[in-house]
Amino acid sequence: ICYLRCGNKSRRVGYQTTKNAGEDWSSPELLELPNPNSAVCGVLMSDSGVLLALNHSADKRDSLSLVYSADGISDWRTVAKLDEEADQKFSYPTMVRDRAGMIHLVYSWRMQKLRHVSFNDAWVHQQLNQSLVADCQSPALSESSKGQS
């Protein structure tokens, strides 16, 4: 899978796929992820899922997020919002995985300096599991389960 910034009015992340190691590519398609025509970067996770770093907004670069999909195309879930500040820019994410399995993300912070963060697959999955637990403990669910055994 190749992820694309789309310079058209869609304001979403695009992608193309190949079945022959890049010799031929599918026509571009759009993901459900909003993006203000800014850079995106992805790494393959150990479980074959995909982690993307992007500006998760249709029109601003004032936040930078990590999102995860098990198949790299659908059901994207937010892992973490790394930076968010009105009227600032967080841009040009680049990620690599080192030999020890750590993922290193470098991006432009406020267009003033580069910020480096590193984490591993376990941290990503911990963040995803915490968001699932939080979703399951919504007030409506907690309220309806009171008094039941």
Sheet harboring 12-16: ordered strands across? 2-5, 12-16, 29-34
In this prediction the pTM is 0.85
Q: Summarize pLDDT for 26-75 with one digit per residue, the tens.
A: 999 999 999 999 999 999 999 999 999 999 999 999 999 999 999 999 99
Q: Summarize pLDDT for 72-113 with one digit per residue, the tens.
A: 999 999 999 999 999 999 999 999 999 999 999 999 999 999
Assess whether pLDDT exceeds 60 at residue 149: no
- Mean pLDDT for all residues in the chain: 88
Are residues 108 and 114 in contact, defined by beta-carbon separation less than 8 angstroms?
A: yes
